[in-house]
Amino acid sequence: MTDLSWIISFNIIINSVLSFFTAAGILWLIAFIFRVKEPRVKALIFCIPFLKLVLDLILYYDISNWALFHSLDPWLAEENSRMLTAYAGLFPYPLPGIHLTMADGKLFTVADVLSLYLGVFWTKIVVCLTFSCSCGAIVAWVLRLTKSCRVVSTLMRKAVPYKEGVALSESVSVPCAVGIFKRQIIFPKSLAQKLSPEEFDAILSHEKNHLFWHDALFRLIGQFLSISFWWIPTKRWLSFIERLQEEACDLKCTNRLHLAGAIVKSAKFEKMTRLEATMTGFVQGPDVVKRVKALLEVQKQEFKLLKWIRLSLVAIAAIAIALGHFWIF
């Protein structure tokens, strides 16, 4: 059983990679099939691969039907007795999944096969190195986050109140929503003087939408999971979700023309060092042109009943993927 505990740990490493990209691929396909254009909806469903990393650890890894637990070696299975099974959440299975099965319906995984091929020694080395790096990365991230929180706290304390929940400061060069629990919108004082009242209100509407949806908290959780599961290349996926959040906040603004102008003006002031996970900056480099184009495009109206039916089906499918059983014994 001692060796099996190492193989279970090895399973967490390998299966998390397979599960993340399987869920991400299926969700991308769902968004394409159902023509999901709403950036907020896309941002939420594309968070599911990260959520799944946690749900798999909590809900699965039941060894009762695990082939190795019953002393069945996948390498020694009879020819044609191993099978890849995929199901889509229909009867008799309540949720979608992908399994590798062998004799008597016992389950095994890609990680099992790799671990048996590597041997106990190298399996232990991989597990120890991987989780040691995770612990080190988490400690370093917590230290950076603590430092960022202190800087943000000082920033909020020194900012000059302008109106409820809004302050002006010379310490930032772009408008931003700061804080996780005690939250505030901070404008660069020099930029606020160059904006028209309509542009100022447009940015305020954008940042309030960030606060309403707790986007900074989502980014914080995403970064923590990305660092904890550092062996999964998730940086670009997280960046894509952040871009969707920005686009969603843009499209909630009633006066998009003034918001487009405010984005262009703010981009000229973007010299701020980003304090990741504790703030959401108003402009983010190369995305400025795309955001302005999206704001100036004419939005097509969709029949509300069809829209809600479509989004309901997407939500059901996304929940099923989150609870799906992919590549795990």
Tokens describing residue 153:
């706290």
pLDDT tens digit sequence for 244-257: 998 898 888 878 78
- Arithmetic mean of pLDDT, 167-185: 82
CA atoms within 13 A on the CB side of 220: 19
Which of 260, 326, 254, 255 has the alpha carbon at shortest distance from 291?
260
Secondary structure (3-state) at 286: coil
pLDDT at 283: 57
Instruction: List strand residue ranges (DSSP E) for the chain, in order.
Output: 83-88, 96-101, 107-108, 160-163, 166-169, 176-178, 184-188, 279-281, 325-326
Name the DSSP letter for residue 73. Answer: -
Q: What is the pLDDT of residue 202?
A: 87
Average pLDDT, the chain: 85
Residue 272 pLDDT exceeds 50? no
pLDDT for 230: 94
Read off the pLDDT band of 298 (50, 70, 90). low
Q: Identify the residue with better confidence: 41 or 188.
A: 41
Q: pLDDT tens for residues 109-121?
A: 999 999 999 999 9
Per-residue pLDDT, 274? 47
What pLDDT is attached to residue 30? 94
The answer to whether the CB of 11 falls within 8 A of the CB of 61 is yes
**pLDDT tens digits for range 261-270:** 777 777 766 5
| Cβ contact 106:73 at 8 Å | no
